[in-house]
Copies of this chain bind each other. A is one copy, B any other.
Amino acid sequence: MAYTIGKLAKAAGVTLETIRYYQRKGLIEEPVKPLQGYRHYSEQTVQRLHFIKRAQQLGFTLKEINELLFLDSGHCDDVRQLAEQKLQQIEAQINSLTALHGALQDMVSGCGRAKADNRCSVIDALSQNGEK
């Protein structure tokens, strides 16, 4: 079954612009335009868009997704390596966010207490030595 770009967009849950952008970036190939009429997209392309969206939800950038698509089948090791790398990035990200969360929470919890000098402990904590 063939899709025009609008149908494709609807089927994949993206906008026309997204599709065109992906074409420009080489994430999906642009079908040749028939001399007369509009381009046709295949079911395959719907699947590929789903693939891209899922990978994106998993935190892959388009660039990384492009690599995945390029490696694709047959190079399982490479794909796994990419995934493992991403896994480490995510761990690091979680760690720093957790630290950040703790720091911010400390600040906020210091904030409620009445202070003689009428200053904000959050601001103070950020300033650390004397900003304003």
Give chain A's interface residues, CB within 8 Å of chain B: 44, 47-48, 50-51, 54-55, 57-59, 68, 72-76, 79-80, 83-84, 86-87, 90-91, 93-94, 97-98, 100-101, 103-105, 107-108, 111-112, 118-123, 126-132
B47–A127 CB distance below 8 A: yes
Chain B hits for A122, CB < 8 A: 68, 76, 79-80, 83
B104–A90 CB distance below 8 A: yes
A59–B126 CB distance below 8 A: no
Copies of this polypeptide in the complex: 2
Q: List 25 A-B contacts (CB under 8 A).
A: A47-B130, A48-B131, A50-B128, A50-B129, A51-B128, A54-B128, A57-B100, A59-B100, A68-B123, A73-B132, A74-B118, A76-B111, A76-B120, A79-B111, A79-B120, A80-B108, A80-B112, A83-B104, A86-B104, A87-B101, A87-B105, A91-B101, A94-B97, A94-B98, A97-B97
The minimal Cβ–Cβ distance linking A103 to chain B, given in whole angstroms, is 6
In this complex, what residue of B is CB-closest to A120?
B76
For the complex, what is the distance from the CA of A8 to the CA of B59, rounded to whole Å?
A: 37
